[in-house]
Structure 1
Amino acid sequence: MENNIAPTSTNKDETDKGGNPILYKMFKWIVVRPLLHLFYQEKIYGAENVPLTSNLIVVSNHASDFDPLIVGSCMGRPVAFMAKEELFTIPVISQAIQAFGAYPVKRGAGDRAAIRSAIDSINKGWATGIFLQGTRTLDGKITEPKLGAAMIAAKTQAPFLPVSVWGTETIFPKGAKFPKLFQPVTVRIGELIPAPDSSDRATLEAYTQKCAEAINALHALGR
């Protein structure tokens, strides 16, 4: 059954969390949500599974540059995503993404600084969004999940919230100059997966695989 988006947390300490939660909410409700509803007939399932307080890591598949906006707007609380470090050198864009809680990551390399930034973001009270494969895939399926998210979960004891984004690969296919409109998009939010009880590699690998399987199972449900 399709669900309404969970209500937004109104924690009085939000302004101390970094970023700009007020700007985040304004952009979400005035720009992102109306556009997704009008042009992409977005469906959302499982919104009641989103905890509005406490540590949280939102883990998702990834097929489009629009996924951070889509996933973040479906949560009932602000979600900070990693962003490629090059964006933080561009005037205006740098200030905008930092206002939305984003933190830099070096693509193609294990980045301890990004992991520290993610942990800091969680400690400030933001839900932190991580794409489990780290990069986009053509069909939205997770085939090579990375261990970084599990490492962060082990260090912060933040549970995973598995999320599947279906259909976003058609919005901006390779070679296109402009986004395609009226492409159906579906977001499915699964049940919480408790944080791993150990940070040894075998545990992290098993935990990561469990999360990948949960997301792929949601994705297989389709529209």
Structure 2
Amino acid sequence: MFYKFAKNVVKIVYKLLFKIKVIGKENVPKKGPVIICSNHISNYDPPMVGITCPRDLHFMAKEELFEKKWLNVLLNNLNAFPVKRGMRDRNALRLGLTRLKDNHALGLFPEGTRSKDGQLKRGLAGAGFFAMRSSATVIPCAIMGEYKRGSSIKVIYGKPIEFESLKQEKPSAQTVTDEIMENIQSLLDENR
């Protein structure tokens, strides 16, 4: 209930602040496990993906955000769970896989942090790990524009990434993440 309420409030606020155009929302499956992988240009990105995606999303968020009690409660009610950055966090990986196993949609920013220059950086292996270890559909997402009052923000959801032939090669998680990042870059290039 709280997630839906918060999503509607943020949607109203963002529509007052920005001109939002969403492309490809129909590419996101209505049911089953889904991983939405997006570029990361601003702190405004998680709410932007959250309000434009037709599914309720579960996000990994940096562990430091959960240190304040009120923020911990808020983030938990928004389906977020903590991840330790800069190291392999087995607990966060386990939690993410559990959410996918329960047919939820997982929102990931494979770069791991915001891109200061707006250029897509190399993604971390976690996105590939989730793609290989689950039966989730992976949807690339690109956010374009500057978060300035009255500016246009475009959110593009690409077609599901086909991994079947790649899975037969038993690739590393990093190789799979690289494939995901190539798909995000293609969305950015095609929509400039």
Length-normalised TM-score, structure 1: 0.78
| 1:176-219 residue CA offsets vs partner (Å, 9 max, x unmatched) | xxxx422321100000114552594x353432222111111212
Structure-2 residue corresponding to 1:126: 104
SS in 2 for 1:42: strand
Structure-1 residue corresponding to 2:154: 186
Structure-2 residue corresponding to 1:114: 92
Structure-1 residue corresponding to 2:6: 27
SS in 1 for 2:106: strand
Alpha-carbon distance between aligned partners in 2 of 1:27 and 1:97, rounded to the nearest angstrom: 11
Contact 1:57 1:161 in 2 (8 A): yes
Structure-1 residue corresponding to 2:178: 209
Distance 1:198 1:64, change over 3 A: farther
| 1:84-134 residue CA offsets vs partner (Å, 9 max, x unmatched) | 112212122111110111010112222122111111121233200111111
| 1:62-105 residue CA offsets vs partner (Å, 9 max, x unmatched) | 01111111011111110011111122121221111101110101
Contact 1:58 1:163 in 2 (8 A): yes
Amino acid at match of 2:143: V
Q: Which has the higher strand share?
A: 2
Contact 1:158 1:194 in 2 (8 A): no
1:197 is aligned, of 147, 167, 188, to: 167
Contact 2:33 2:102 in 1 (8 A): no
SS in 1 for 2:167: coil
Contact 1:32 1:69 in 2 (8 A): yes
Structure-2 residue corresponding to 1:176: none
Contact 2:34 2:138 in 1 (8 A): yes
| 1:29-84 residue CA offsets vs partner (Å, 9 max, x unmatched) | 2x111222221101100011111100111101001111111011111110011111
Contact 2:126 2:177 in 1 (8 A): no
- Which sits farther off after the overlay, 135-144 or 87-96? 135-144
Contact 1:164 1:187 in 2 (8 A): yes
SS in 2 for 1:143: coil
Contact 1:198 1:204 in 2 (8 A): no
Amino acid at match of 2:167: D
Structure-2 residue corresponding to 1:149: 127
What are structure 2's unaligned runs of at least 5 residues?
none
The alignment-based identity, stated in percent, is 33
- Which sits farther off after the overlay, 59-68 or 190-199? 190-199
After TM superposition, give the deviation of residue 152 of structure 1 in Å: 1.2
Contact 1:80 1:102 in 2 (8 A): yes
Is 1:218 aligned with 2:187?
yes
Alignment of 1:27-176 (within 5 A): 27-29=6-8, 31-167=9-145, 170-171=146-147
Contact 1:60 1:162 in 2 (8 A): yes
Length-normalised TM-score, structure 2: 0.90
Larger RCO, structures 1/2 (Cα 8 Å, 6+ apart)? 2
Distance 1:141 1:151, change over 3 A: same
> What is the CA RMSD across the aligned residues, in angstroms?
1.9
Contact 1:132 1:142 in 2 (8 A): no
